[in-house]
Chain A
Amino acid sequence: MKKIIILILFIIPLCGCDFEELNNLGIVTGLYINYEAGNYETYVEIINDKVNEYKVLPVSYIYEGDGKTLGESINNIRNKINKDLYFNHLELLVLNYNVLYNDINVINDYLLRSPLISNHIVTLLTNSDISKIASSQSKNNNVTSSFIISLIKINKKINTLIPSDDYDFKIAELKSKKFTSIGSIEIGSENIYLDNTLIINDHEILLKLNNEDSIIYNSLINKSTITITFDGIELKAKLNSIEFDKDISAKYSLEVISNTKYDLDDVNSLNKITILFNEKMKLNIKNFIKKLQSNNIDLFSLKEKISSYKDYDFNIEVNSKITKKGELVS
């Protein structure tokens, strides 16, 4: 009997949880923020969950709000829509350079403090008009944030840029005044396009990498597979290991994508290809490191080991082996 009474008592509080119906949630997928003259201008992209058989409805809606703080600008958006903003599926955060120059940590703090906001957010910086980026896909009836995320995924395959979605790791690096990288996006005459990676520290953009540097950066930092072309051969290269000391030594495994010149059944040809690859990578890594040194950027925490980091001449060693040559005989 005692058990039954206790079980009945349990039912009373358990059925009282606050809940929101799915229909009442405005599911935010993209957040676009600008900061100008002490004012935050925020755009949120909300997925449309309604379907109309007779009329084509937009797939997402963009709402704008402004205020002296990020919270105020988001609350202004809340006043305009009849749904509760739900940030747990936030995929994309686009910030204007001004936000970085002011204090990017204000945004980070606001987003990470709440347990209801996802921390798998892709962060991008832009120098373009944020409202144009936010609404760039509405004419094509695409969700802008999903469009940008797909752009990034495709870019991952062609290995120029990989803006990381580990948003909180970036924040931790920024907070501890470490060098970090953030991808960038700009708007051209018609379309948006992914621009090169920015190396930032604190409130400053220290360096914008070019395509070649981005490839090396992705290989060394993100350990992603990159594509290298030289002398009539195209290779996929995956970094197996890298050691940073007073010298830098990297080991790659290679996969042949296309080849018009070499006989791949000949061991000497394979050796020649690896030697050429090693030389090319050595040069690229050297140029990349030199660029970092000249801008006093220490991405690999080498300053702790080398006091005269800026002028130090690194000895770079690259070793590689071909692991796949494809389905053709030679």
Chain B
Amino acid sequence: MIKNSEYYTSSFFLSRGLFLGIGYKLMFNESGKSILFSSLLGMIIGIFLIKSIYNLSKFKDNLLLKYLKLFILIFILLTSILSITSYIISFYLFDSNFYLIIIPLFLLLIYSTGLKNNAEFKTANILIVLRILIFILVILGLLVNIKTKFFIFNIGNNYTNIIKSSLIFAFLTVAPYLTLTNYMNNISSKKVIINYIINALLVILLLALIISVLGIDLISLYRYPEYMALKKISILDFINNYENIFSIGYLLDNFMILIITLNYIKKNYKKPTVAFIILLLFLYLICFIKFNMKYVIISYNYLPYMIIIFLSIYLLFKYLSTRHQD
């Protein structure tokens, strides 16, 4: 069992992790100027999703559901490992050898899966101090540099794209909560929902600030608008170029998703599963991502949708199976 505080701190990391490079960009591509509206819509869908995950978590998974859940977790891990490595290659170690970047990362992941006593949640409890500090600095830094003419809240008229975008928001914020289902029932449903709403609102706040700093035109140019917005932070004309320090926050979010998900798999599936998945992630990176940009683009465009499809099927099947149990 974990403490309630560990649940809250972990969820703080989990709700934002899948947005780096993938979630934000996909949402911008789909809904453009209506992104804030679709995010709010996404949050409402997300509340229903988190409520249903909470209610269904009281029932045990049968074998089919267990492996369906494993698929979702694998897609979450693939999304996360792709975004963390591409991000490091793009902005931190662009000249370094690919293997020199991923080998330490994987060693750390292997090490983290060997820890006992819910060490991943305790890590979250420690890192939260740094994460909140970075988050506050980022919010303040962006607030100083916003241009009101860029802020746009448009409902738009392309409803298909808005719905797609809101589904991306809802599922990417909610999907990582699957790793907390074993501990959810220690907390009241009201608190779980409030916790989700706060986390989702923080994602929306960051999104609104990115739009207000860069503007929709510039966002459409960049692959990582969330990083480029940090580049614009300039306080009193001398606090500049802190983007690499501030963006460590994004890496922490992703890293926590990786270790919490891997530890969840270790605890809930047969012993070799987690080793097999780490190997799968490693092969995914060296066979597809390193050598061919085509697979990176395919992964960027389809992984979030795979999470949406599999999570929807999982929730539907689980709902049907619980009805059957009743």
Contact = CB atoms under 8 A, between A and B. Distances in A.
Interface of A: 2-3, 6, 9-10, 13-14, 16-18, 112, 115-116, 119, 168-169, 171-173, 175-176, 178
Interface residues of B, number: 21
B236 interface: no
A168 B114 CA distance: 46
Say what secondary structure dominates the interface of chain B: helix
21 contacts: A6-B107, A6-B111, A9-B107, A13-B99, A16-B96, A16-B100, A18-B96, A112-B221, A115-B90, A116-B94, A119-B231, A168-B218, A168-B221, A168-B228, A169-B215, A169-B218, A171-B218, A171-B221, A172-B215, A172-B221, A173-B217
B217 A172 contact: yes
Interface in B205-256: 215, 217-218, 220-221, 228, 231
Contact of A178 (B94, B111, B217): B217
Q: Which of A6, A10, A18, A172 counts the most B-chain CB atoms under 10 A from its CB?
A: A172
A172 B218 contact: yes
Contacts of A2: 114
Nearest to B102: A13
A18 B95 contact: yes
Contacts of A9: 107
Contacts of B97: 16, 18
Interface of B: 90-91, 93-97, 99-100, 103-104, 107, 111, 114, 215, 217-218, 220-221, 228, 231
Contact of B94 (A14, A112, A115): A115
Nearest to A20: B95
Contacts of B218: 168-169, 171-172
Say what secondary structure dominates the interface of chain A: helix
B225 to A, nearest CB: 11
A6 B99 CA distance: 17
Contacts of A171: 218, 221
A9 B111 CA distance: 12
Contacts of B93: 17
B103 A13 contact: yes
A256 B325 CA distance: 82
Nearest to A3: B111
B104 A10 contact: yes
Contacts of A168: 218, 221, 228
Nearest to A112: B221
Nearest to A166: B232
B220 A172 contact: yes
Nearest to B147: A169
A119 B243 CA distance: 13
A14 B108 CA distance: 13
Given A16-B100, A116-B94, A176-B220, 19 more contacts: A3-B111, A6-B111, A9-B107, A10-B107, A13-B99, A13-B103, A13-B104, A14-B100, A17-B93, A17-B96, A18-B95, A18-B96, A168-B218, A168-B228, A169-B215, A169-B217, A172-B217, A172-B220, A176-B217
Contacts of A175: 217, 221
B133 to A, nearest CB: 25
A165 to B, nearest CB: 11
Contacts of A169: 215, 217-218
B111 to A, nearest CB: 5
The 6 closest A-B pairs by CB, nearest first: A172-B217, A172-B218, A18-B95, A13-B100, A176-B217, A13-B103
B246 to A, nearest CB: 15
Contacts of B96: 16-18
Contacts of A115: 90-91, 94
A116 B90 CA distance: 10
Nearest to B114: A2
A14 B100 CA distance: 7
A17 B94 CA distance: 10
A9 B100 CA distance: 11
A169 B213 CA distance: 10
Given A115-B90, A119-B231, A172-B215, A14 B104 contact: yes
A172 B99 CA distance: 35
Contacts of A119: 228, 231
A129 to B, nearest CB: 32
A173 B91 CA distance: 25
A171 B219 CA distance: 12
Contacts of A6: 107, 111
A165 B218 CA distance: 15
B86 to A, nearest CB: 12
B297 to A, nearest CB: 16
B144 to A, nearest CB: 15
Contacts of B94: 115-116
Nearest to B240: A120
